[in-house]
Copies of this chain bind each other. A is one copy, B any other.
Amino acid sequence: MKKYKLVSREYHAADTVVDVAGVKIGGGSLAVMAGPCAVESHAQLMEAARAVSQAGAKFLRGGAFKPRTSPYDFQGLAGKGLKMLREAGDAYGLKVVTEAVDASFIPLVSQYADVLQIGARNMQNFQLLKAAGRVDMPVLLKRGLASTIEEWLNAAEYIASEGNSRIIMCERGIRTYETFTRNTLDLSAVAAIKELSHLPVIVDPSHGTGRWEMVRPMASAAIAAGADGLIIEVHPNPAEALSDGPQSLTPKNFTRLMHEVRLMAKARKAFLEDEGGWI
């Protein structure tokens, strides 16, 4: 199909670097967003933020509104959660990334967050995309569970066509027949976005695999594949998490992950400097 234009590499040849209140995403930097799936309590969030910051990441992620498959699952702390995110972000010098699940929530979310996240289930919620295109803040656009790369770029185009081109793409795994992992992390999508678009792309190995022990190797693989960053679920106590415990890292393992991905990013950089690009 291909109708997207503004987000295409032909339209804009150079890599877009998105500036989030002074912290850059894209252009060779390594952007890591980390934190709990859901904001559960003040104590939980402050502890997570401290761990994230100490390991060297620059972004705090956390959900205040949780899109859950069943109406009987924990739905998030809403406005209270947003305030906690801002407080924790400020306390540890972290930029805040959080999701708006409906166009009507954008004004509220934009008061507290530095990056507006659009979740996988909403990748083709076109009202939400258009509203995100009219707000003055960076947008993290997750790939839909069963979206093609072309559909994903067209979703980005909905945002860009309304005037906002500060878009960060996020691969988070697609739905396949394989059941060992929660989703199938499609790292070739990183290379595809780099080829087709100028937008930065990060990877979510937590949702992509659904298994904490796979998060580290997939995070390294993502960086090796050319990703501009990562979004990782970190919880002070994964066993007691209200959602996504099995895929959350402890602070200790997150620190190790940061160590490894830095080594990988360095290796990749060394190669690119030696070779002066690919073809």
Contact = CB atoms under 8 A, between A and B. Distances in A.
A161 B191 CA distance: 40
Nearest to A104: B104
A240 interface: no
A10 interface: no
A116 interface: no
A208 B146 CA distance: 16
Contacts of A151: 69
A124 B70 CA distance: 10
A267 B259 contact: no
A22 interface: no
A181 B176 contact: no
Given A102-B103, A127-B102, A224-B220, A191 B214 contact: yes
Q: Is the interface of A mostly helix, strand, loop or mixed?
A: helix
B218 A67 contact: no
Contacts of A80: none
Interface residues of A, number: 80
Which residue, of A122, A146, A195, A223, has the highest number of chain B Cβ atoms within 10 A?
A146
Given A259-B271, A275-B256, A70 B184 contact: no
Which residue, of A71, A102, A190, A226, has the highest number of chain B Cβ atoms within 10 A?
A71
A279 interface: yes
A192 interface: yes
B177 A1 contact: no
Interface in A174-198: 174-181, 184-188, 190-192, 194-195
Contact of A188 (B69, B175, B214, B278): B214
Nearest to A265: B267
Given A266-B267, A267-B266, A279-B213, A71 B157 contact: yes
Interface string A242-279: 00000000000100100110011011101100110011
Contacts of A59: none
A5 B72 CA distance: 10
A101 B187 CA distance: 30
A267 B224 CA distance: 10
B209 A188 contact: yes
14 contacts: A3-B70, A70-B154, A71-B158, A101-B126, A125-B125, A145-B146, A148-B177, A148-B180, A195-B213, A220-B268, A221-B221, A221-B224, A224-B264, A260-B268
